[in-house]
Structure 1
Amino acid sequence: MIPPTRDTNPFSSCWLGPAGIDYVASDGNTPAVVTELLAAHQWRGQIVGNHGVGKSTLLGSMKHCVQARGREWVEFRFYSDWKLATAWDLWRTELHNNSLLVIDGYEQLGSVARAIVRWRCWRSGAGLLITTHAAVDLPLLVEVRPNEQTALAVFRAVVGGRTTPVTEDDALQAFHACKRDIRQMLDKLYDQHERHERAEREAKRQAKRANSKRPSYVPTPDPPVLLD
């Protein structure tokens, strides 16, 4: 099987990670605006939202804004299958008063781990930026809630003029079917694109097979012999 490319299937997760697409702000809270809020809160804040709504994408789009202000971006990602080695790297990473410790998936950490994170930031003077499903006691920067306009903007950015049988109506239906989860919406559109492509390839194979069964030469009968 030939692996998909962005031209064969624009919805493949291979290139749609947090850094693979720009964040689409549905409420005017662009990465630059959120960075301004973060700075106003002494570089402490939280980005709140459900699974798959774009929190990690917002982080990826904020990185250059934060670095442009002279802050060191120190990021750790904690998902449901995070490893102990990730936590160990977090504990031993050196932080400074110009560092911004960024934790994507803060809800995965237990109360003791959270206390250690906060103590390390307080001790070093580093800032703390987190994403979380439920709000904690940090300044709220933005609650990410994608709407239909967000879904369409993401769809158009992902497709980027490439050919796909998937339509904008398909994207909106997937958006609502996935309960506004943009990540699941893209997964659903990937499957839909693949189904269309497989059906088209199968139709071409069937047509080719039917044509190959037709005789390429049809003999004509000899003309009748006239007897004197």
Structure 2
Amino acid sequence: MVSTNPFASRQVRPGAIPFQFSAPDSASLIIERLRESHWRGTIIGPHGSGKSTMLETLSPLWRDQGLTEVRVTLHAGASNSGELRLPRKEEILVVDGLEQLSWPARRWLLWRCAAANSRLLATCHAPLGLPVVFTTAPSPELAEQLAEILQRKTDKLVTAADARMMCESNQADLRETLFQLYHLYESRRKSRSASDSDAEITR
């Protein structure tokens, strides 16, 4: 078995695992909803619920629509990435964290995109004046599923019950849940390694 911690940040960062849809939702269905709303919409959900992962899952599909993605990631009190500008004719502006813009800046962006008939997809915690094309719904069941996926090629030291309990204690914040599962996995791995060493000495 692989001895690395499967809950390490490089394993759980947005895009490392595809967004786990519940039937009948799918990435193609979200794109269809966006098309029906004239290519302007939002993905909403609480902190740590998979919104950024959703954007990574959608990212390679824009080319199939003849579009080039212009990604802007906004952070509270931290450096932003990407250039916030109106997208060109064959582009779609994807803004991760729309609520981080001030109210005047957000109003200006939405007005300019509507006036220019520009394509815009944004993530936010609550509706902010755009059609909602998807709402993330993290759950203990999803935490169990992610724990199972992440441990497919490693020793399974975190149980489904562990994942469920962590998710419930973190009020379904998957980002914080995975962070805590990293430490749980690391603790159990070190304990087992110490036990194996003691057993080897006593032989």
Please say which of residues 151-160 and 192-201 is displaced more in the overlay: 151-160
1:156 matches 2:157 = no
Deviation at 1:155, TM superposition (A): 1.8
Residues 189-204 of structure 1 mapped to structure 2, 5 A cutoff: 189-204=181-196
Which whole-Å CA distance do the structure 2 matches of 1:145 and 1:117 have between them? 27
Distance 1:181 1:27 in 2: 21
SS at match of 1:190: helix
Q: CA 1:33–1:103 in structure 2 vs 1: closer, same or farther (change >3 Å)?
A: same
Instruction: Report the equivalent of 2:180.
Output: 188
Structure 2 equivalent of residue 62 of structure 1: 58
**Counterpart code for 2:161:** D
Deviation of 1:11 (Å): 0.5
Matches of 2:31 and 2:196 in 1, distance apart?
52
Give the AA of the match of 2:170.
Answer: C
Give the superposition deviation at 1:192: 0.3
Give the aligned partner of residue 51 of structure 1: 47
**TM-score w.r.t. length of structure 2:** 0.88
Deviation at 1:117, TM superposition (A): 2.2
Which whole-Å deviations, capped at 9, do the CAs of 1:64-92 have from their partners, x for residues lacking one?
Answer: 22221111111111122332x647x324x
> Aligned AA for 1:127?
R
Structure 1 counterpart of 2:84: 90
Match of 2:4 among 4, 8, 30: 8
- Counterpart CA distance in 2 for 1:17 and 1:123 is 35
CA 1:117–1:148 in 2, change beyond 3 Å: closer, same or farther? same
Q: Report the RMSD for the aligned CA atoms in angstroms.
A: 2.2
User: Larger C-alpha radius of gyration, 1 or 2?
Assistant: 1
TM-score of the pair, normalised by structure 1 = 0.80
Matching residue's letter, 2:46:
N
Moved more, 48-57 or 11-20: 11-20
1:135 to 123, 127, 136: 127
- Give the equivalent residue in structure 2 for 1:41: 37
Gaps of 5+ in 1: 1-5, 212-228
